[in-house]
Every structure is written in structure tokens, then in C-alpha cells.
Structure 1
Amino acid sequence: MALVACAVAVALAARIWVVNARAPVIPEEWFQANEDVPLEGAFAEYRYENTRGYSICVTDARRMSVREYLAEFSKDDDAARVQMERLAQEGTDLDAKTLLVADITMKNEKGAEDERGYLDSIGWSVKCPETPAYWIRVQSMLFSCSVPQINGSYKLSIRPKTEYVIHVPFASTMFEATFPQPYDYQYLPTLEPGEYGFVVTKGPVRKVVHLDVA
């Protein structure tokens, strides 16, 4: 029996190695701030985003508090007030540097009659080697305060031959729990200065922008 078990284990290990060896490798391209990132059909979530002709450029990135972000970028005072009340109730310090805000210029170079395609911000994320446990994504409710016309949508599109600047707040979410509850409340933790990677697309090419955040 021991020999049979050993043989099965060896066969299983060999199969895992073969599967891993055959797994597709997604190429990765890195860009710097103030450098155009042509999307060239690469997508954040779904292939049908049809991003060919679109590009982005991150012109600045810095840490901000919720209060600072809404004071500078919100175009809807009522919505901003609701979001501050909600986050404060959940335990977020409104004056702590809990947001990484990226100033992003979107450009659309498609033909004048081609209004297909969009950027899917739900697939955007930011990675930090110093805090690998943080899942840093777009804070969509705060983002909607700065661009009310998107009406909560993650799909960002502009007319051909135009460009538009957005100020995207990224944040992580931490949960506080008291057994046996899954969680009692959630809050945005403080983000530290350092090097971050803004993952713009995941496939078929992974495009990442290096951000040096103070």
C-alpha cells in the first residue's frame, strides 16, 4: 500500500508540474508616471471592453484623506456629505491618509464615428509590496462624487478624438469582527508612502504604471 500511495503522489506531483508548465504566461509591461499607456485592446476585466484606440496617462498620484478628496474634487455636496457620514459611521478616520488618488488623463483616438469601447474601472487595482494584504481598488462611491455623470457606473468612455481628466481614489477595506459575526464594521486603513503599481489591464497584456507616492 505504501508503494501504491507513493506512486500516486509522484504521479499527482508530475501532473501538477505539467499543468503549471503549460499555463499561459501573461506578458507584463511597465510604465512611468507622465508616460502614455496605449491600451491596444488590453482589458481590465473583459475582452469586449474594446479598448483599442484608448490610452491613459497618470500625471500625478498622492495620498489624501476622504475629507481632502471630497473638498477638492466633489461636484455634489449632498452626495459628499452622505459618503462622509457613512464612512465615519463605519469607523474610517476622515482626516487620515486613507486614499491613493491618481490623476488620470483618458484619451480616445478612435475614428470619429466609432463610439464603441470603454475603460472598466472595476478591474483597476493598486499593489504595494510593503502591504501585500491590502486589496486596493477604486473607491467607487467617492469617485462618483467627483464625476456625477457616470452615475455609479464602472464603465468610463469619452467621445472619439477627445480627452478627459479624472481623479480616481483608490482605497483598501479592513473588517473588524467579533465572533461569531463575519464582521461588525468595515473601514479604510491608512496607506503609507512608498512605491505602488497601478494595474491598468490584466490581459492579454498586463499593463502596470509605477507610482512613487509621498
Structure 2
Amino acid sequence: MRRANVALGILGLSIVLAAIALRIHWVNTNLPEIPVEYYQQGEWVSLGGAFQVDSGEGTDGYSLLVEKAELTTYDEFLQEHGVEEGTVQRQPEGTHGSARCVVDLELRIRNEGNADGSLDVFQMILVPERGNEYLICDVMNQGALWPQTQPGAGMQVSIRPGTEYVAHIPYVFNGLEGVYFREVTDTDFSLLVSRMPERKMIRVQLS
């Protein structure tokens, strides 16, 4: 009797595992694939409603173009793009080391007639060609550069309809410790500008 119960248990477990395997296979073969589009640095990319997290971002009318990307230190980036010292509280130079830890991404943004949309800059990650980690806009770290160069911008950016704007976005490795002391040694990247319904990527090369 005990052997029979064990056999039934094994049979039941096998059926459950087989059902799970079939379900995974069905999902993998029936879910729609997200098309991936690659663009080159210096090429305009029309978002056309493509978004990062929520279709409510409303990116119709927005286009992006990567002008260039340069490697710099924390202090150099702040000296080049920071607002007046009295506007934000800054730490003394050298506090964050001298590592070339920031990718200064010069991004031109165009808005043709959209009065309500925005760009989720924090989700626009920069992925090295090797692909096993990524860089983010420096928003969350203590002493983050983005709030010191774009006061009030937050994680979303919007510009007036019929205008263009050039933003210098500071990219650092994703993490909360030691990012300003870690050298960036990569030279080739892809900037993820939308995830759905198309995954749009711009190839970026450090100059």
C-alpha cells in the first residue's frame, strides 16, 4: 500500500511538472515578440508613442538624437554643466575622487506639437556592448549630478511644443555605492530609448 502511494505521488508530481513545462513552452511560443530597432548616433529617432513603462508617457511628437558622448569625472561634469553654486548645496571638489566615472551623453530632444507628454529619462539606460550590466542617469545617488544640472527636472523631461532642447545626461554605473570611484572603460554602448511596443536603441560611441 505504501509503495502504491509513493508511486501515485511520483506520478502526480510528474504530471504537474509536465503541465508546467507545457505552459512555459506555450507562453514562449505564443507571446508576441517585441521588435528591436537600432539607430545610429547622429540620427533622429521618432518615438511616435513608444514608451518605457507606461503608454501614458505620451511620446507622440517627440524625437531624440544623440549628438555625442564623452567620458569625464564627477567634478568635471559639474564644472561644465552645473547650475550656480548658490542654487544647490555642493561638496568640495575631490570628494568624489578623480575616476573618469561619468558618461556625458549629449541628447538633442525635439517636440513637434505634444503639449502633454514627457520622456522617462531614468528608464533610458546605457548598455555597454558587452551587455552584462548597464549605466543609468545619475538621479538616485547621494550627491547625484542630474538634480544639480537640471533643477526640478526629476526623472521625466518635457519641453514645449515646437521646440528643441539639448540635455547633457550624466550616466554612471547602476548602484548606490562607489559609482563615482569606478572608471568607465567601455567605449561602445546602446541607449535604450523605448521598451514597448518597439524596443528602440541608439548606438553610442565615446568620442
Q: TM-score normalised to the size of structure 1?
A: 0.81
Structure 2 counterpart of 1:109 = 112
What residue in structure 2 maps to residue 201 of structure 1? 194
Give 2:124's aligned residue: 124
CA RMSD in angstroms comes to 2.2
**Alpha-carbon offset, residue 4 of structure 1:** 3.9
Task: Report how far residue 157 of structure 1 moved.
Answer: 1.1
Say whether 1:156 aligns with 2:157. Answer: yes
2:145 aligns to what SS in structure 1? Answer: helix
> 2:19 and 2:174 mapped to 1: Cα distance?
42
Query: Are residues 51 and 17 of structure 1, via their aligned partners in 2, closer, same or farther at CA, if it must alter by over 3 Å?
Result: same
Name 2:65's counterpart in structure 1.
57
Structure 1 position 194, deviation (Å): 2.3
- Between 1:137-146 and 1:159-168, the stretch displaced more is 137-146
Shift of 1:7: 3.3
CA distance in 1, matches of 2:93, 2:175: 15
Separation in 2 of the partners of 1:212 and 1:130? 13
Pair 87,137 (structure 1): closer, same or farther in 2 beyond 3 Å: farther
Q: For residues 115-145 of structure 1, what are the alpha-carbon distances to aligned partners after superposition, in whole Å with 9 as ceiling and x for unaligned? A: 111111121101114361x341110231222
Deviations 1:57-78 (A, max 9, x none): 0000121110110111112324
Shift of 1:80: 6.5
The match for 1:136 is 135
Percent of paired sites with the same residue:
26
Mapped contact 1:50–1:118 kept (Cα < 8 A): yes
Letter in 1 for 2:115: E
> Conserved in 2, the CA contact under 8 Å of 1:74 and 1:80?
no
Q: Which runs of 5+ in 1 are unaligned?
A: 176-185
Rounded to whole Å, the distance in 1 between the matches of 2:102 and 2:153 is 18
- The corresponding residue for 2:168 is 167
User: What amino acid is aligned across from residue 172 of structure 1 in structure 2?
Assistant: F
Q: Does 1:74 align with 2:67?
A: no
Structure 1 residues 8 and 87: alpha-carbon distance in aligned structure 2, compared to 1, 3 A threshold: farther
Q: Which amino acid aligns with 2:155?
A: Y
Greater CA radius of gyration, 1 or 2?
2
